[in-house]
Amino acid sequence: MSKFKKNRGKASPEVSTASLPDIIFMLLFFFMVVTVLRDAELKVEIETPRATELTKLEKKSLVNYIYVGSPVEKYKKEYGTKARIQLGDKFANLSDIPLFLEQHRSKVPEAQHGGIKSSLRIDKGVTMGIVADTKTALRKAGQLLINYSAKKKES
């Protein structure tokens, strides 16, 4: 009887699960590396328009984001319903754009400065006035490559 038990205790028929965490961790690290945490909380409502001539933005580190839209529900009391610009995680004015661009530029290696793109994530309902002003500010700041963020149109 005792002999019988001892045998089974030594050679357990179970597959070792000790390497399972390693596999999962590997997956975890993979996802941690490839995904980018969204750094900015959106304070403006944005529903990007649809278009067909889309270019994919690669090299996330070379892209800065400018959001334009009307404030979301909880900021409506404070900021009204008029379309606003959001840079990073706060509301901004047109005069803040050059500084914002410069801050982003300082994080990019010098050799890649020519490839910096501004992604304009603009709500399709806003009027062109604020968009044109933003564009003028970008041109004055020397940021000429811009990308109007849009979704794919099924046609």
Partner 1 sequence: MAKTNSRDRMKNEINAGSMADIAFLLLIFFLVTTTIAEDKGVLVKLPPWSEDEPDITKLKKRNVYSVLVNADNQLLVRGDLAQLDDLRENAKNFIMNPQRAEDMAEEPKKAIISLKNDRGTEYGTYLEVYNELKAAYTELRNEYAEKKYGKLYEFCTKEERSEVRSEIPLIISEAEPTNFGDEG
Look at residues 74, 87, 79 and name the one whose alpha carbon lies nearest to residue 121: 87
Task: Give me the residue label for tokens 């700041």.
Answer: 141
Q: Which one among 62, 83, 85, 116 touches partner 1, defined by CB under 8 A?
A: 83
Burial label for 53, CB within 10 Å (0-12, 13-18, 19+), is: exposed
Look at residues 93, 75, 77 and name the one whose alpha carbon lies nearest to residue 85: 93
Half-sphere exposure for 119 (CA within 13 Å, toward CB):
17
Q: Residue 116 interacts with partner 1 (CB under 8 A)?
A: no
Q: Residue 120 interacts with partner 1 (CB under 8 A)?
A: yes
d(Cα 16, Cα 57) in Å, to the nearest integer? 44
Q: Which one among 24, 40, 42, 99 touches partner 1, defined by CB under 8 A?
A: 24
Q: Residue 35 interacts with partner 1 (CB under 8 A)?
A: yes
Q: Residue 85 interacts with partner 1 (CB under 8 A)?
A: no
Closest CB to partner 1 among 106 and 127?
127
Positions touching partner 1 (CB under 8 A) are: 5, 9, 17-18, 20-21, 24-25, 27-28, 31-32, 34-38, 48-49, 51-57, 60, 63, 82-83, 117, 119-120, 122-132, 135-136, 138-140, 142, 144-152
